[in-house]
Amino acid sequence: MISPLAERSGPGPLSHIYEVTKMTGDWRAEAAHLANVFDLKPDRFCPIESEAFGYTGSLLLFDPPARLDRIELSQVIDPASAMGRFVAKRGETLYMCFAETDDPKAIVSRLEKAGARWADAPGDHGHEHFFIHPASLHGVLMGVSRTNVAWLWSGRPGLAR
């Protein structure tokens, strides 16, 4: 369901969820389908690839550069990666979501107090970008990033703070 943007105060330190990641066997075909469904121009897509996480794909950005909101389309290139194992077990489906916060260290502190499993993203030791393990969120993998930091890997690094 897509609904109009409505500003609301959040119940906690996350401002909003800005990404859902869909695993697909053919990200190009999926991107073409979504471009047709949402009537999007090619400049709404940003190619992505990660050797560290074993995938390639595209970000479908709905309103760049005004908003970071997007759907990530990921295709496994390394079957031994966490994504590869996930797809082998569950097939093409939603994989994770990403949320923003102005205070990532406060969320890390809350996770640690609760004994929740989490980990910084590779190369990030300042909690600007981290993941909350599905075991701590009833099966959902959630990434968390400082507000606007995700522009670094979303095609417009100049917008990152």
pLDDT tens, per residue, the chain with 161 residues: 667 777 777 668 898 899 999 999 999 999 999 999 989 888 889 999 998 889 999 999 988 888 899 999 999 999 999 999 999 999 999 999 999 999 999 999 999 999 999 999 887 767 889 999 999 998 889 999 999 999 988 888 888 87
For 152, the token pair is 């670094």
Q: Domains of the chain: which residue ranges? A: 14-159
Instruction: Say if CB 46 and CB 59 are below 8 A apart.
Output: yes
Q: What is the DSSP letter of 11?
A: S
- Secondary structure of the chain: what % helix, strand, coil (to 5)? 30, 30, 40
Name the residue with tokens 């949402």.
38
Residue 128 CA to residue 100 CA, distance in Å, equals: 10
CB distance 64 to 156 below 8 Å? yes
Contact 30, 73 (CB under 8 A): yes
pTM of the prediction?
A: 0.86
Q: How many residues does this entry show for the chain?
A: 161
Tens digits of residue pLDDT in 37-74: 989 888 889 999 998 889 999 999 988 888 899 999 99
Query: Could you say which DSSP state residue 80 is in?
Result: T
CATH architecture observed for domain 14-159: Roll (3.10)
